[in-house]
Structure 1
Amino acid sequence: MRSNTPLHLACAALGAAIVAALLIIPSASAATLFSDDFQDGDATGWARSGGSWSVVTDGSPAYRQSGTSADARALAGGGSGWGDQAVQARVKPIAYNGSGRYVAVLARAQSSSNYYFLGLSNTGAAVLGKRTGGAPITLATGAAGVTTGAWHTVRLEAFGTTLRGFVNNVQVVSTTDTSFGSGRAGLAGYYASATFDDVLVTDLGGPTDPPTTPTIPPGSCRTSGSPTGFASVNAWGQNGTTGGAGGPTVAVDTAAELLAAIGQQSPLTVCVMGTITVPAGMHDVASDKTILGVGATSGITGGGLNIGLPASDAVTSPPADAVHNVIIRNLSFRGATDDSINVQMFSHHVWIDHNDLADGYDGLIDIKRGSSYVTVSWNHTHDHTKNMLLGHDDGNAAQDVGRLKVTYHNNWFDGTPQRNPRVRFGEPVHVYNNYYFYNTDTGVACQADAGCLVEGNYFERVEEPVTNSYAGPGGRCVARNNVFVNESGAPDCSGTVQEASAYYSYTVADPNSVKATVMAGAGVGKI
């Protein structure tokens, strides 16, 4: 699918929506100039020079330059192109023919021999350069950890005389140059083969150079405390959940800064200053991150956070590169176009604590596809129907059995009708000392042979507070020492469940005190 302004603005908007879940669009206010995800199976509109270009299937339809014996380029965009532009694509290098070779995205391409390029080189580095009718000219290089056979998100920004290059949402190179003021976008394989997908061109302007760094008020970005529950357990090669501890601390107040920071492949504490509007879709969080709101008014709107590798049914055991050791605290989430927070694909040791979540599209906090050792604590969820899902499908036993070990404690489920949580396969799923208020469908729904331990909670106006016969295959649940008031029903539970105390130590508070304690302590501005 492709679009090109001014002739196809309607298609551009649709294309941006389709690819938003896969791409990091640098700003919510950026206009889409062009997009192509090749889902239509062809590459009409691409002007090719050299090489062998074709649409292939590489997980999904994508554009491939085959062979390594040519200086291959493909340009897109009508007329003389655009001035300020950010060109982004997912790029998978396949092979290089010798040294000094690269696969690249192109910006301000005036012809097939005059353009700027950001390349992934045969040495694993990023190279920012230009062609002015002859051989490539290198302007800047940077470490990028590029590997063949793996997808990388590559973005080249050209605004005014400033050029900046990003690989996997982290800026790795920058320079200034005056050779080209406008032109089209493109792709290249300089004596190299690669697959390209999800091409996106926007008119986003980059931050000032040097970027303005927000100042963190003293004591306002605190990283103290540690989780109780499954996120504290020593398992799967990770002893507890420490997030970005041991790494630097950065402050962010723009979408570009936030998304670049959470994608870095090293320990980092990210202090979110104010409410940041991110592009629609889900945005990936890398391992060893603490994402912490500053004060009581910081948060994320317009999109959600994804903790996990791309979804796959074929993977049935935790991969070595599963995302792990992530903390999300003290943030408000609003207006997500998918999930507000999604944990998937065997991600582990995740602590989601003291957040305020509402008004999303799908789940507020969903945990699925074999993820485990997660604690969800002291969150306030409200004004939303499908609250929290644990296990996404009755047929996903291969990934989920023996996993999905999650603790939910001291959360305020405030007028959220269902999925508080809805559970499949996980055992034990430990739900204690939460305050349930006016959940009109169900509180805890335990299905598909899940084992839920529900204790010390306060249920108010909840007709079906705990059940293992809600819908689909039944589960097992044990409900003990809970309070049911103001027209709340009785638990519908049977079977035996593993004890959470076999994994970690905890103390259950008097359930009669839970309502006051949780209302006073859950949500943002309380840590």
Structure 2
Amino acid sequence: MRTAQRRMTLLATTAAATATLLTAGLLTAVSAQAAAGCQVAYSVASQWPGGFTGNVTVTNLGDPVSGWTLGWSYAAGQQVSQAWGATVSQSGSQVSATNVDYNGNLATNGSASFGFNASWNNASNPLPTSFTLNNVACTGGTTPTTPANPSPSTPTPSNPLPSDPVPSIPPQTGLVGWATQNGGTTGGGGAPTTTVTNASALTSALNATGSAVIRVSGTISCSGMLRVRSNKTILGNSGATIAGCGLNISGDRNVIIRNLTFRDWNDDAINVQESATNIWIDHNSFSNGYDGAVDIKRGSDFVTVSWNRVFNHDKTMLLGHSDDNGGQDIGHLRVSYHHNWFDGSNQRNPRVRFGNPVHVFNNYYRANGGYGVASTENAGVLVEGNYFENVRDTYHLGEGDSGPGRIVARNNHFVNSPTGQAGGSVASIPYSYQLDTASNVKSIVTAGAGAGRITV
């Protein structure tokens, strides 16, 4: 924005795919520079009938690269449909991923990551068997393109030795969960990038028609709520901060908000309402605001809230704004909350009305003074694989004047925290996901959640 996102028992497929990739030694590629070499980590982040999300990280081991294209081929008819962090095209089985404007320069040992959605035939989804970087075949090492004093009788090995170390696969932080459904969420896609440094420019860019990638630089001070239109990606440069105001997605769709710090907002930090759909809120930090950090309401749907940190704040994440709005909300408000760090945030982590199924998994809860999760008004919430530490009320049914919902809780980890109140049934999760072991979630989330933890 983790029995389906960031690590489900899908995934025999994802786990097996990753293991196959490692043992086959396929995490290598090479660039067309004077000394060429790279590592590639390709993984299936999530998989569902007819589709999957892939994550790729390429690390340059050779001389610096200015502009790159990574190529591979599929063997089972997979077709890439959407991408972020790269411009991806496909002809037949051949796939080419080219850098976007902000990640084209790779220093020695520098990396770039991108993700994509693709289709598959539901029979098999084999991993690519080889990669090229700038049209040079992968060899797994650094090799001069013009070797000194070559000897015809002593050919240079073209494959890594079995003893060569296999690079580890980085945490999968691509899109997972409800925002992968209903056609997926791509934001501005490959649209031109606009960098904004003040409130006026940000307001204009957010409210413009058409697709756009908007990069926020520095601290922007503002007030109230800024309207966000459809097909926008909003990315924070390093240290980017929005102070005093929030973003309002009202009736629009296909919006991505990543890598921003929100503080001191005077309404909500992010408000998703009026049947807005396909929203991904990922790797942001929230603190010291007036009302909700991320509130989702009024029939909105297909939302993923992932890898965010909330601290020094009271009312965190509200899902469904009132008990009398069932006519608009029932059948909607389907949201995935995963790998978020609820760091002393007091309540609404989240508070849920009507939505079913709502998926709360692999989050880290620390010292929440009020409560963790509340399910109300017949909502159905799957609370799975979370880490609760020093939380006096981990999850419960009903809240305030709101009637009870339903909670299915499983595979959670408790440290100085009680097992919560669960009961009833929850609709099945339709997407695939990988579930991290709950006892590992604290270290995983604290190492990766919040703004400034990804390269965008």
Q: TM-score, normalised by structure 2?
A: 0.62
Which residue in 2 is equivalent to 1:499? 428
Q: Deviations over 1:5-50 (max 9, x none)?
A: xxxxxxxxxxxxxxxxxxxxxxxxxxxxxxxxxxxxxxxxxxxxxx
Which residue in 1 is equivalent to 2:367? 438
- The 3-state SS of whatever aligns with 1:281 is strand
Which residue in 2 is equivalent to 1:290? 233
| Count, aligned residues | 291
Alignment CA distance shift 1:223-1:253 (3 Å): farther
Contact 2:215 2:237 in 1 (8 A): yes
Aligned pairs (5 A) from 1:215-364: 224-225=114-115, 226-233=174-181, 235=182, 239-278=183-222, 280-295=223-238, 297-308=239-250, 322-364=251-293
Which residue in 2 is equivalent to 1:482? 412
- The 3-state SS of whatever aligns with 2:114 is coil
Q: Deviations over 1:94-114 (max 9, x none)?
A: xxxxxxxxxxxxxxxxxxxxx
- The 3-state SS of whatever aligns with 1:366 is strand
- The 3-state SS of whatever aligns with 1:224 is strand
Contact 1:216 1:251 in 2 (8 A): no
Alignment CA distance shift 1:224-1:260 (3 Å): farther
Separation in 2, partners of 1:415, 1:401: 31
Separation in 2, partners of 1:223, 1:364: 27
Separation in 2, partners of 1:227, 1:492: 30
Alignment CA distance shift 1:274-1:524 (3 Å): same
- The 3-state SS of whatever aligns with 1:346 is coil
- The 3-state SS of whatever aligns with 2:185 is coil
Which residue in 2 is equivalent to 1:152? none
1:490 deviation in Å? 1.4
Aligned residue among 443, 447, 450 for 1:520: 447
Which residue in 2 is equivalent to 1:386? 315
Alignment CA distance shift 1:510-1:393 (3 Å): same
1:373 deviation in Å? 0.2
Separation in 1, partners of 2:197, 2:113: 18
The one-letter code of the counterpart of 2:230 is: S
The structure with higher relative contact order (CA 8 Å, sep 6+) is 2
Separation in 1, partners of 2:102, 2:197: 11
Q: Deviations over 1:184-221 (max 9, x none)?
A: xxxxxxxxxxxxxxxxxxxxxxxxxxxxxxx979669x
Which residue in 1 is equivalent to 2:122? none
Aligned residue among 308, 318, 343 for 1:414: 343
Separation in 2, partners of 1:525, 1:415: 20
Alignment CA distance shift 1:341-1:219 (3 Å): farther
Q: Deviations over 1:132-177 (max 9, x none)?
A: xxxxxxxxxxxxxxxxxxxxxxxxxxxxxxxxxxxxxxxxxxxxxx
Q: Which runs of 5+ in 2 are unaligned?
A: 1-100, 107-111, 116-173
1:470 deviation in Å? 3.0
Contact 1:453 1:499 in 2 (8 A): no
Q: TM-score, normalised by structure 1?
A: 0.54
1:337 deviation in Å? 0.6
Separation in 2, partners of 1:477, 1:352: 24
Separation in 1, partners of 2:450, 2:262: 11
Which residue in 1 is equivalent to 2:133? none
Contact 2:377 2:398 in 1 (8 A): no
The one-letter code of the counterpart of 1:479 is: A
Contact 1:282 1:306 in 2 (8 A): yes
Separation in 1, partners of 2:103, 2:218: 12
Q: Which runs of 5+ in 1 are unaligned?
A: 1-214, 309-321
Separation in 1, partners of 2:290, 2:114: 32
Q: Which has the larger radius of gyration?
A: 1
Which residue in 1 is equivalent to 2:398? 469
Aligned pairs (5 A) from 1:93-108: none
Separation in 2, partners of 1:264, 1:334: 25
Contact 1:469 1:492 in 2 (8 A): no
Alignment CA distance shift 1:514-1:219 (3 Å): farther
Contact 2:347 2:368 in 1 (8 A): yes
